[in-house]
Amino acid sequence: MKINRRDFLKATALTSLYFAGFGTPTLASNSPKKNLVVIMLRGGMDGLCAIPIKGDKNFEKLRSKINLDKTLDLTSDFDLHPALTSFKRLWDQNLAAAVHATNIPYTGRSHFDGQNLMETGGKIPYQEKTGWLGRGMNIAGLTGNGLALALPMPLLIRGVPMNNNYYPVGDKLPSNSTLGLIEQAFKEYDEKLLSENLKIVMTRELKNTGSRKNWSLAANAGEELSKPNGPRVAVFEVDGFDTHAAQGGTNGAHADCLSDYNEIVRGLKQSMSKETFDHTLIVTLTEFGRTIKQNGSNGTEHGYGSAIFLAGGLVKKAQVHTDWPGLKRKELFEGRDLNSTIDARSVYASAMSTVFDIEFERIQKNVFWGDKLDNLSDKLFKA
């Protein structure tokens, strides 16, 4: 364990100086489109299971039943969960990174409030009816550019009209003439939302047959994102991170969820053209991390700080970006959780600024109500 806060702050100050004076990058008109993929990890992803700290005896002691017996090597300070093989391959090519000890500014430990806030980006649960991603897309004028790989439309991407979703029904639609009559009825009754959705159904190219496995959904999304006129934003959901019991180490319930994430990354990488992957950023989102200490059922409780995985060609370099708060009792949030020293919304605002080519300040102001956020674009992403 070599990392400490002072080193981090020193390095941060230098990079900030170096990049001072550079304006927001602008997209040349003939450049390929840039894509943002957000993978929601529902249930509270355990950042310390995914990216454990090296050589912290106290940490190992607190997790004697759920420690990893084998890991992949990341940095001198951090290891990687062995289920994250595709992530690791990208890491080795400087195409993946992580932000650690981070979370949305929510400390209430409720899944529902937490998931609501991770999607809205707000501070009061259920107050906002749109998602930060939807609002960001709206500012960027990305109407009709969203694709959710889920049956319902996630709150995260609401706030911009005409989003699509894909979760194949496995059957044929009624004939076009029948659909035309329904379209007419929706119009007559002024059902705007239904009309909008029916229009997408009637005009899209996605097949209604096919597998709903993560890899397959990701492969379909990758193909759509690779089309010059295809969507620019995709949203995935992975459930099951709420491991109060039998969390396990290398092979447990948390490992299976991390594998689900890994499969999505693999599917995207394999289905995208090189050029598309080079212009894509894949980020994760969770409501909170989990307690440092295992509980009596070899699981963990709801916590606070977690980690964000970054992957894709727009990742600046392989790194674990963190302002590590430490795991000594007094360094923990409320004496029990990894603290969050980076507002996760800074990462998302920076990601949108990079991918949508919008000034960071504009996103900060119009998506996150002017909340105090740091522009991490130059540290984490390629201009």
Partner 1 sequence: MKNFFRKVAFGIGPNEEVPSDPLAWALNQLDDVPDLTWKGKIPSGKEMIEIHARKNEIELKKVREKYKDDKKLLKIGIKRLNYETGLHFWPSLELSIRHTEAIYSNSPVLAKLWFFWSNHFAIVDGGFRTAFYTGPYQREVIRTNLNQTFEKLVYNVTTSPAMISSLDNGDNIGPKSKIGKKNKKSSSINENHARELLELHTVSPAAGYTQEDIIQLAYIMTGWMNGYSKSTGDTLPVEFNKDRHQPGKKTVFGKTYKSGKKSLENVIKDLVHHPNCRDFIATKLCRYLITDNPTEEMKKPIIKAFKDSDGFLPEIHKAAIRVAFEYNDQYQKFQNPENWFLQMAKLADFSWPTSPTIMDLYEVGRKPQLAHTQPQGKLYDLGHDPYRAKQPNGFSDFEADWISPELLIRRLVFAKDCFELTKSKNNNFKFYKNIVNKNFNNPERIFNYLEKAKKPYEIQILLFNHPEFLKA
302 counts as binding partner 1 under rule CB under 8 A = yes
Q: How many residues belong to the site for partner 1 (CB under 8 A)?
A: 55
Work out which of 178, 211, 251, 270 binds partner 1, going by CB under 8 A. 178
Task: In whole angstroms, give the CA distance from residue 40 to residue 55.
Answer: 30
Work out which of 179, 223, 278, 374 binds partner 1, going by CB under 8 A. 179
Work out which of 71, 164, 220, 284 binds partner 1, going by CB under 8 A. 164
235 counts as binding partner 1 under rule CB under 8 A = no
DSSP-based three-state secondary structure for 138:
helix
Pairing of strands 96-103, 306-311: antiparallel
DSSP-based three-state secondary structure for 30:
coil
The torsion angle over the Cα atoms of residues 346, 352, 355 and 361, rounded to 10 degrees, is -80
Q: What is the closest distance, in whole angstroms, from the C-beta atom of residue 42 to partner 1 in the complex?
A: 8
* Nearest CA among 352, 230, 215, 340 for reference residue 283: 352
Task: In whole angstroms, give the CA distance from residue 313 to residue 244.
Answer: 35
* Nearest CA among 381, 119, 358, 355 for reference residue 232: 355
225 counts as binding partner 1 under rule CB under 8 A = no
Work out which of 23, 171, 176, 228 binds partner 1, going by CB under 8 A. 171
**Residue with smaller CB distance to partner 1, 35 or 164:** 164
Phi, psi (deg, nearest 5) at residue 38: -115, 125
**Residue with smaller CB distance to partner 1, 32 or 125:** 125
Q: What is the closest distance, in whole angstroms, from the C-beta atom of residue 306 to partner 1 in the complex?
A: 18
Work out which of 105, 125, 161, 210 binds partner 1, going by CB under 8 A. 125
Is 294:65 a contact under the CB 8 Å cutoff? yes
DSSP-based three-state secondary structure for 290:
strand
Taken in order 10, 342, 36, 50, is the CA torsion positive or negative?
Answer: positive
Is 218:271 a contact under the CB 8 Å cutoff? yes
Footprint (CB under 8 A) of partner 1, residues 73-112:
108-112
Q: Which stretch binds partner 1 (CB under 8 A): 33-41, 51-59, 85-93, 186-194?
A: 186-194
- Which residues would be at the binding site for partner 1 (CB under 8 A)? 64, 108-113, 125, 129, 148, 150-153, 158, 163-167, 169-174, 178-179, 181-182, 184-186, 188-189, 191, 193-194, 197-198, 200-201, 204, 208, 239, 244-245, 293, 295-297, 299, 301-302, 334
